[in-house]
Amino acid sequence: MPRQILDRLWERGRAFLGTDLAILGGAMSWISERNLVAAISNGGGFGVIACGSMGPDLLAAEIEATKALTGKPFGVNLITMHPQLDELIDVCGAAKVSHIVLAGGLPTSAAIKRAKDHGAKVVCFAPALVLAKKLIRSGADALVVEGAEAGGHIGPVSTSVLAQEILPEIRDVPIFVAGGIGRGEAILSYLEMGAAGCQLGTRFVCATECVAHANFKKSFIRASAREAQPSVQIDADFPVIPVRALANNATKRFMDFQQEVIARFRKGEVAKDAAQLEIEHFWAGALKRAVIDGDVENGSLMAGQSVGMVTREQPAQEIMAELVAQAEAALAARHGLIQKAS
């Protein structure tokens, strides 16, 4: 009975994704590639390739390699600021990718239309209610509401607040909640609030199928929630989009680097635009350094606050089975209490 209730709660999400479970894999650069994406999809969830800075040829090859590993549905996450966004959308269209996720900024109506013209369902990130409504008017087929507890680039508002703000107001399209989700009980709570499903990233980093370096995975297993901290901006004149990651030498170096660059600007040694660009480029290559090379002291350890719930390496299918079992147990306990009270 609990599974029947759960399936009813996320039926809209399952139908939209074409999956057994309405669990989206968060698109994480260098991590969400063919092996993890296929494992999530084969396990009943919905894997999503992180295109990141890939060019069209590389993305086309990654899509084909993923298809060789799974016959289940999966999607592709494209960064809206990518200089070749139109070409990347066309690559997804040519490969008959069923779902395109547009992230990293507010996509244009033209980009959404281009993806839909290829027959893809378009998923967009909505950081506020007013933007959620705008995206739906622009043609988005589904939305992801991601709070500040997430790993990587984050906004200022928590998942629980965004969910309360947006879920009761939007019924036009399915909404998936993300950010700080690590257990099935949390998934259940958002489903009961009206979500169609949830997106998880950090929880899958230590999947057996994930290609991340052993050092990177060990950092996650050892970490607590409080160690996943947002980067700090030291000068209001030099805005920095915060990135949540595990604190390490690179985190401290970023603070010093900001001070050094700003000091050079104050002395007239560098123009403001150039100084801002230097700061933004600090993290270039840092994630790869940690994920692929295993340099967990000087690379970027992007992680959400749910990292404290990552306790061991296990297959992606087992992770999702655990999440489902936790949600079912919560439903069973609630049903038992109701029966007892009556």
Same domain flag for 236 and 129: no
Same domain flag for 157 and 105: yes
Q: What is the pLDDT of residue 334?
A: 83
Whether 274 shows a pLDDT value over 90: the answer reads: no
Token pair listed for 1: 């009975």
Same domain flag for 238 and 292: yes
Distances (CA, A) of 269 to 229, 239, 261, 263, 274: 32, 19, 9, 9, 10
Q: What is the pLDDT of residue 281?
A: 78
pTM: 0.93
Task: List pLDDT tens digits, range 49-62.
Answer: 999 999 999 999 99
Q: What is the pLDDT of residue 309?
A: 97
Mean pLDDT in residue range 229-247: 89
Same domain flag for 294 and 222: yes
Q: What is the pLDDT of residue 259?
A: 92
Same domain flag for 201 and 71: yes
- Residue with token string 């991340």: 212
Whether 131 shows a pLDDT value over 80: the answer reads: yes
Same domain flag for 16 and 74: yes
Alpha carbon distance 122, 47 (integer Å): 15
Whether 272 shows a pLDDT value over 70: the answer reads: yes
Mean pLDDT in residue range 71-83: 96
Same domain flag for 194 and 292: no
Same domain flag for 287 and 314: no
Work out how many domains the chain is built from and give that number.
Answer: 2
Reported confidence tier of residue 296, pLDDT bands at 50, 70, 90: very high
Q: What is the pLDDT of residue 237?
A: 85
Same domain flag for 231 and 243: yes
What helix, strand, coil percent values describe the chain, rounded to 5? 50, 15, 40
- The CATH number covering residue 78 comes to 3.20.20.70
Helix (H, G, I), strand (E, B) or coil at 104: coil
Task: List pLDDT tens digits, range 18-41.
Answer: 999 999 999 999 999 999 999 999
Task: List pLDDT tens digits, range 101-112.
Answer: 999 989 999 999
Pairing label, strands 243-246, 228-230: antiparallel
Alpha carbon distance 135, 108 (integer Å): 9
Among 46, 47, 50, which residue's Cα sits nearest to residue 27? Answer: 50
Q: Cβ–Cβ contacts within 10 Å for residue 4, how many?
A: 10
Q: Cβ–Cβ contacts within 10 Å for residue 226, how many?
A: 10
Task: List pLDDT tens digits, range 319-335.
Answer: 999 999 999 999 999 87
Q: What is the pLDDT of residue 340?
A: 46
Same domain flag for 137 and 72: yes
- Residue with token string 């589904």: 142
- Residue with token string 């949540």: 244
Alpha carbon distance 186, 322 (integer Å): 13
Residue 295 structural domain: 214-305
Which backbone phi and psi does 195 adopt, to 5 degrees? -70, 150
Mean pLDDT in residue range 61-82: 97
- Residue with token string 């901290």: 229
Mean pLDDT in residue range 153-162: 95
Alpha carbon distance 223, 87 (integer Å): 39
- How many Cα atoms within 13 Å fall on the side-chain side of residue 341? 6
Token pair listed for 291: 């994920």
Return the sign of the alpha-carbon dihedral for residues 90, 34, 283, 311.
positive
Alpha carbon distance 94, 92 (integer Å): 6
Among 132, 139, 204, 137, which residue's Cα sits nearest to residue 175? Answer: 132
Token pair listed for 44: 């009943």
Reported confidence tier of residue 338, pLDDT bands at 50, 70, 90: low
Q: What is the pLDDT of residue 342?
A: 37
Same domain flag for 287 and 325: no
Alpha carbon distance 277, 164 (integer Å): 36
Whether 341 shows a pLDDT value over 80: the answer reads: no
Among 285, 307, 279, which residue's Cα sits nearest to residue 298? Answer: 285
Same domain flag for 96 and 240: no
Q: What is the pLDDT of residue 337?
A: 54
- Residue with token string 């999400």: 13
Alpha carbon distance 201, 198 (integer Å): 10
Measured at the alpha carbon of residue 78, what is the angle toward residues 75 and 79, in degrees to the nearest 5? 155
Q: How far is CA 191 from the centre of its chain?
A: 18
